[in-house]
Amino acid sequence: CGTGVVATAAAYRALHPGDGPVAVRVPGGDLRVDFDGDGATLSGPAEIIGDGQFWY
């Protein structure tokens, strides 16, 4: 999940300070986490695996 990837990258960055993105390899492909100030951006491949409708 994306939340876990970003949390893992944040923990890595806390233990290994530096600049630049953190690369994370997951079963769905390689992801990249960029940190800027107080935020993070997750980048990588995306694939639609289903669709549906929500009725309210």
The number of folded domains in the chain is: 1
Could you read off the pLDDT of 18-44 as tens digits, one per residue? Answer: 989 999 999 989 999 999 988 999 999
In a domain, 49, yes or no: no
In a domain, 51, yes or no: no
Considering the entire predicted model, what is its pTM?
A: 0.80
Distance CA 21, CA 40 (A): 10
User: For position 34, what pLDDT does the model report?
Assistant: 98
Tell me, rounded to whole angstroms, the distance of Cα 19 from its chain centroid: 16
Distance CA 53, CA 31 (A): 29
In a domain, 17, yes or no: yes
Task: State whether the Cα torsion 28-31-45-38 is positive or negative.
Answer: positive
In a domain, 52, yes or no: no
In a domain, 48, yes or no: no
In a domain, 29, yes or no: yes
Could you read off the pLDDT of 4-21 as tens digits, one per residue? Answer: 999 999 999 999 999 899
Dig out the tokens for 53 from the structure. 């409708």
Q: Which domain holds residue 7?
A: 2-43
In a domain, 56, yes or no: no
